[in-house]
A = this chain, B = another copy of it.
Amino acid sequence: MTDHTPTDFAALAALLADRFSTALPHRAAHGASETHITAGVPDAVCWPESTAEVAAILRFAQAHGVPVMAWGAGTSLEGHALALHGGITVNFARMAQVIEVRPEDMLARVQPGITREDLNRALRATGLFFPIDPGANATIGGMAATRASGTAAVRYGTMRDAVLGLEVVLADGTVIRTGTAAPKSSAGYDLTALMVGSEGTLGLITELTLRLHGQPEAVSAATCGFADMRAAVDCVIETMQSGLPMARIEFLDPATVAACNAHAGLDLPLIPQLMVEFHGSPASVAEQAARFGDIAAEHGCTGFRWADRAEDRSALWKMRHNAYPAILASRPGATAVVTDVCVPISQLPRAVEETAADIAASSIPGPILGHVGDGNFHAILLIDPTSKNDRAEAKRLAARMAERALRLGGTITGEHGVGFGKLGHMQAEHGAGWAVMGAVKRALDPRNILNPGKVVPLDQ
């Protein structure tokens, strides 16, 4: 694959009619995502309505050597879906149905374009829910492609755990089904796990079988403040080691708290805060909350605010989910460089403290928050998009975070994925394993038409 000569899209246009477009506004809308990364407008956009249409698009692309990028909600943070070499962006907005819910098997089959909020609305009456919650209202297909996780991963796992099986269209238009509706299997290579996190570079996901969970009988949530970051993080570590089945345990530094207060009209004390949630039977939730309270008290927790009513919890997590826009709003005109590292939990205090010190010594602000029960945290580096110096500073800080994560035994990305924003750190994390990813890519997509320039080494 190289930057291609102009393609005659007539056959695709004939197939898809008004669900195919080369109009600039459509192309531009699929050439930008939520972050600072801007590059990559496709030559065409299409909105397939079936697996057969996706297969036809891929057969066309394969025949013409044209890149194909999958598009969900456009909420990815590392430029995953941008068209670095032109080509066709496949928008899954018209493949957004719940195909089947099987409550007795606690699973659902869905199309990739459904968002997690729409899915959970569709599930509400079943007593089940889909727990993976990356904050953004991403599509399920996009979440699978980036191996997303979020606030509830500490209890319910990541998309790696949530996806039981897939329907995938390969580069040449072949349709495969991975996994089954059984809860486990040892029948050969785990193609489901290979596809989850492959960011559209190995195939396009056209259907997902998802593991669901029972809506908890009782839920309780709280915020609690700590004198300093270390005390909060140490409380997290001890909580996790105690085996308490935390449903959520989130960290907000004082700058994040200030931004959330301003954005949501709250008055949380401007000290490091944990946001916690407990799921279970009423007796179990009460026991968990009491045990967590004991641990928090030992680490000098300065007070709890409980949110036992559903509307209070909803407000609490809405505040957390809006932390990103809240932080953005705290520096008017700013753009965010969102970092995402994950370390072994024992290294969390060091990773967070060193990151905070780095940012404090830099010329830009960078509130810190994260899913600390997983060892995963983010600094939201706020830059003036017109300032070369700010951009360089953010790049330097982000690189130091990635290097530190690797030095402490962790990973350059806990949940956001690689896209091309993290490509420069892949060799450092994987060594010879990165070339193995390249070999797998070449085997499945020899013409390199699937999301070229992402995830694997560039010499494909």
**Chain A residues near B (Cβ < 8 Å):** 102-107, 146-149, 153, 158, 160-161, 170, 174-178, 180-191, 193-194, 196-198, 202, 213-214, 216-217, 237, 240-243, 245, 281, 283-284, 287, 291, 340, 342-346, 374-376, 405-406, 409-418, 422, 426, 429-434, 436-437, 439-440, 442-444, 455-456
Interchain Cβ contacts under 8 Å between A and B, 23 examples: A102-B346, A104-B346, A105-B345, A106-B241, A146-B186, A158-B184, A170-B436, A174-B432, A176-B436, A182-B344, A182-B409, A182-B414, A183-B344, A186-B416, A186-B418, A187-B430, A189-B437, A190-B197, A191-B433, A214-B242, A281-B291, A436-B444, A442-B443
Which residues of chain B have C-beta atoms less than 8 A from A422's C-beta?
A: 187
Assess whether B287 is in contact with A104, with CB atoms less than 8 Å apart.
no
Q: Which one of A148, A187, A287, A376 has the greatest number of beta carbons of chain B within 10 Å?
A: A187
Q: Known contacts being A284-B287, A437-B188, A444-B436, is A375 close to B182, with CB within 8 Å?
A: yes
With CB as the reference atom, state the residue of chain B lying closest to A159.
Answer: B186
Assess whether B431 is in contact with A177, with CB atoms less than 8 Å apart.
yes
Assess whether A409 is in contact with B180, with CB atoms less than 8 Å apart.
yes
Quick one: copies of this chain in the complex?
2
Assess whether A436 is in contact with B187, with CB atoms less than 8 Å apart.
no
Assess whether B344 is in contact with A181, with CB atoms less than 8 Å apart.
yes
What separation, in Å, do the CA atoms of A431 and B436 have in the docked complex?
25
Which residues of chain B have C-beta atoms less than 8 A from A237's C-beta?
A: 104
Assess whether B182 is in contact with A190, with CB atoms less than 8 Å apart.
no
CB distance from A291 to the nearest CB of B (A): 8
Given contacts A182-B342, A187-B429, 18 further A-B contacts (CB under 8 A): A104-B346, A105-B346, A148-B186, A170-B436, A174-B432, A183-B342, A186-B411, A186-B417, A187-B417, A187-B426, A188-B434, A188-B437, A189-B455, A189-B456, A214-B243, A281-B291, A440-B443, A440-B444
Assess whether A194 is in contact with B197, with CB atoms less than 8 Å apart.
no
CB distance from A73 to the nearest CB of B (A): 17
What separation, in Å, do the CA atoms of A405 and B412 have in the docked complex?
40
CB distance from A63 to the nearest CB of B (A): 19
Which residues of chain B have C-beta atoms less than 8 A from A287's C-beta?
A: 281, 283-284
CB distance from A93 to the nearest CB of B (A): 24
Which residues of chain B have C-beta atoms less than 8 A from A409's C-beta?
A: 180-182
> Which of the residues B158, B183, B189, B416 comes within 8 Å of A440, measured between beta carbons?
B189
With CB as the reference atom, state the residue of chain B lying closest to A422.
Answer: B187
Q: Known contacts being A104-B237, A177-B431, is A345 close to B183, with CB within 8 Å?
A: yes
> Which of the residues B102, B153, B190, B291 comes within 8 Å of A184, measured between beta carbons?
B153
Assess whether B374 is in contact with A183, with CB atoms less than 8 Å apart.
yes
Which residues of chain B have C-beta atoms less than 8 A from A412's C-beta?
A: 187
With CB as the reference atom, state the residue of chain B lying closest to A442.
Answer: B443
